Amino acid sequence: MKKYSESMNYIVVAVKPIENYVLLVDFIDGTKKRFDMKPIIDRGGVFNRLREKEKFMTAHVDRDTVVWDDVLDIAPESLYEKGEQNL
């Protein structure tokens, strides 16, 4: 079980969607990550609708994570733990 202070790092404060289905994500602790959404989109399911580039590019921050609309979001822990360090 993660400590509360560790989970605080997962708070997303900014996101920028870029080409090739990549998100540039800034976290509250100052960490910046690059997160490739393509493998998730390619699996299908609920994220399949993000194949439409215009839809993908609407990514924004709501509360503590990245969202696309009222029902589609991604866990901030996944973005933090599986994202690549972005310098």
> Where residue 27 sits, what CATH number does that domain have?
3.30.2020.10
Quick one: average pLDDT of 59-64? 95
Q: What is the enclosing helix (H) or strand (E) of 65?
A: strand 65-67
CA separation for the pair 69, 81 (Å, rounded): 23
- Count of domains observed in the chain: 1
pLDDT for the residue numbered 38 = 97
Share the mean pLDDT of the chain: 91
pLDDT for the residue numbered 54 = 95
Q: Which domain holds residue 10?
A: 4-85
CA separation for the pair 87, 71 (Å, rounded): 31
pLDDT at 1 over 80: no
